[in-house]
Structure 1
Amino acid sequence: MLQLTACSRALMHAKHRGRYGLIHQPEWPPEAGVSKYLSSDYLWRIDAIMTLSTLSALVAGLVFVAGMVGAGLMDLLTMKIRNWLVLTLLAFYVVLAPAAGLDPETVGWSVATALVVLICGFLLFSLNWIGGGDAKLAAVTALWLGAERTPDYIMYTALFGGVLSVILLSLRKLELPLSGRASPWMSRLSMNETGLPYGVAMAPAALLVLPHTIWFASLSV
């Protein structure tokens, strides 16, 4: 009974202090506080989006570099660029482009550019100037590099392809040493009837253009 009386007295005392301003009672709604918290939440969301965009661009850069190096080595060693490599690059672009913040207009122009490159590539393939894998790799590379940087990519590919052609044609005039004959890919490259592994030229051309693309612009944000 004494405990209940003490509690009731304490409650009455607290009520009395609050009525006469002795206890701070926060007003509602705390307009300044709400705006502050909303602003902080908004900034946090922006920071999270920017972090996701930067991380996606970083992953995209690593995937693209690995894909180009793999395509160049694959073409050099086997004279083929496998479809699974091209499709893997395509799949990663579909996933990473929106995550990295590429807007629909940019993606649309990239797709249109890739289709044009694919058509031109198969025209060259029908003339037996390049392989089918080269045409598909060029198209997916144009998709990644975008409409603005694809002309640079084509220019560097032509330049590196010309250098590659001169080197291989010069080497084919020489007799392959015995150590080279034991290597299937070196023996294949030494034959005049063997075509040129244009993937070897396309890979460094793409890597040279990559730092000037929108992917690196996302990394700098």
Structure 2
Amino acid sequence: MLDLPVLVVFPALMAYAAFSDLFTMTIANWISIALVAAFVAMALLVGLPATTILLHLACGLSVLAITFVLFAFGQVGGGDAKFAATTAVWLGFEHLAEFGLIASLLGGVLTLGLLGFRKLPLPAWARGREWIDRLHDHKVGAPYGIALAITGVLLYPDSLLFMKTLGA
């Protein structure tokens, strides 16, 4: 009965956040709130023990503490910090090292690609499109939410909630 929501909610919110970051360079707060609320609701419905749910929430809080420091030093955006934390809630401590490593690698590839793109002149068809102009602007950061979302979706099938729901 919960198979469909478990299969759809997390990946759909990840995709929405990635596209939102690409087109607007923001990840709305409602996405992070929805991710945490959906995790807690689904975890309760599939019967995860309260201690396990609390550990997953503690994982997210730990990531939020780390990314808040990075945000304070201007290294990541606020939306990226919250998004990384709420993604960590779904993955838990079991996948935290993988999450950090893969997101860093994908973020590095994304950043290098963006730096290369910014060295090229924009073709006529792309000029004037606000989101392309923003991506091309060397003063603007990278939409790191894309790397976070891809990493979250890659690791999600191995997460406790996914495996418990689908009986894996």
TM-score range, shorter chain: over 0.9
Unaligned runs of 5+ in 2: none
In structure 1, what is the Cα distance between the partners aligned to 2:162 and 2:17?
A: 22
Could you tell me which residue of structure 1 aligns to residue 48 of structure 2?
102
Q: CA RMSD in A?
A: 1.2
Give the structure-2-normalised TM-score.
0.95
In structure 2, what is the Cα distance between the partners aligned to 1:135 and 1:58?
A: 28
Is the 1:60–1:93 Cα contact (8 Å) retained in structure 2?
no
Is the 1:86–1:140 Cα contact (8 Å) retained in structure 2?
yes
Unaligned runs of 5+ in 1: 1-54
Per-residue CA deviations over 1:32-73 (Å, capped at 9, x if unaligned) read: xxxxxxxxxxxxxxxxxxxxxxx3354123100000000000
Query: Residue 93 of structure 2 aligns to a residue in which SS?
Result: coil
Which of 182, 197, 200 is the aligned partner of 2:146?
Answer: 200
Equivalent pairs: percent with the same residue? 40
1:220 aligns with 2:158: no
Is the 1:83–1:133 Cα contact (8 Å) retained in structure 2?
yes
1:209 aligns with 2:145: no
Q: Which runs of 4+ in 1 moved over 4 A?
A: none
Is the 2:17–2:145 Cα contact (8 Å) retained in structure 1?
yes
Is the 1:68–1:203 Cα contact (8 Å) retained in structure 2?
yes
Relative to structure 1, is the Cα distance of residues 198 and 95 closer, same or farther in structure 2, using a 3 angstrom cutoff?
same
Which of 151, 156, 169 is the aligned partner of 2:97?
Answer: 151
Give the aligned length: 167
Q: State the AA in 1 paired with 2:90.
A: W
In structure 2, what is the Cα distance between the partners aligned to 1:112 and 1:216?
A: 19
With a CA cutoff of 8 Å and minimum separation of 6, indicate the structure with the bigger relative contact order: 2
Structure ID, larger Rg: 1
Give the structure-1-normalised TM-score.
0.73
